[in-house]
Amino acid sequence: MNKFAELNSAAAAQLFADYCLTQGLQVSAVVQRPDFAELYAAAEQLAQVEEEFKRFLQQPAHPRYQAAAWQLSQPTAAATERVLPAFNLRQLWQQAPLTLLLLVLCLLVYGWQQLDWQASSAALQLTEPAQLWRWFTPILLHFTLTHLVFNLAWWLYLGRQFEQQLGSGLLLNVSLSVALVSNAAQYFIVHPYFGGMSGVVYGLFGYFWLAGRLNPAQGLTISNGLAGFMLLWLLLGFMDLLWISMANWAHLGGLLAGFAWAWLLRKHNGQQQQLTDTDT
């Protein structure tokens, strides 16, 4: 994503971004303060977006912009598709193969758990730390269908965006390192009898949350509502107010590891920007 403008009105920036979405243009508004916002656009659409922006500056009160905002606020089928795009396996494989591979692997392991619970748990839990691969394999285990669906939905949402913007190699490095840190935290502080990808999910969440502030050009941001939900879930887990047993230290370890990666990659402009620079 390329930054192309700054506005002294967050509301105006969001209005323009909403209008662009209705025109099929990938534009995002990053609000720093109510009186300051930045606008970013996909590199391949930058010229068209800049033309639209010039028109917006000339007539910011034109009804077309208010109409676009109203259209996005309606719960139509088209609007739903923009927020939750159709699950297309071929497209997902082309755009984010690692995201799809890990998702399928978790599904296969869950099937194995239903057939032989004891064997699958004994093979993948961190009960034999001398076997180095066990420091990673707990992320494949899920103990209920709700646990599986919750984690895979977040993995699909965050992993797909990360892989598209920063590439499969970086997603692999981040996921493995976050898995190691989160699993180690749970193992050393509590016990080895845990599983789930939520540590990695919290790592990606932490990355999106901090990267969206350190380097919005990466195009990886998360809404305040989702961020609040994830932090509340983490807090409730530590307060032991939930009806399920949570690997709380894995969540916290993953979150901190995600923050660390966001800091390390704070100057990385994303895959789209790199391709643009190479072409020129």
Q: Point out the residues that are catalytic.
A: 198, 251
Q: Closest Cα partner for 163 from 260, 105, 211, 98?
A: 98
Region of 25 on the Ramachandran plot (φ > 0 left; ψ -120 to 50 alpha; else beta): beta
- What span, in angstroms and rounded, lies between the C-alpha atoms of 65 and 56? 8
Q: Are 21 and 70 in contact (CB under 8 A)?
A: no
- What span, in angstroms and rounded, lies between the C-alpha atoms of 275 and 279? 6
Q: Tell me the pairing of strands 36-41 and 27-33.
A: antiparallel
Long-range contact set of residues 77-84: C-beta below 8 Å, sequence gap at least 24: 82/21
Q: What's CA 62's distance to the chain center, in Å? A: 34
Amino acid at the residue 42: A
| DSSP code, position 136 | T
| DSSP code, position 265 | T
Q: Closest Cα partner for 73 from 21, 115, 27, 109?
A: 21
The structure tokens 């394999």 sit at 137
Sheet containing 36-41: which strands, arranged edge to edge? 2-7, 36-41, 27-33
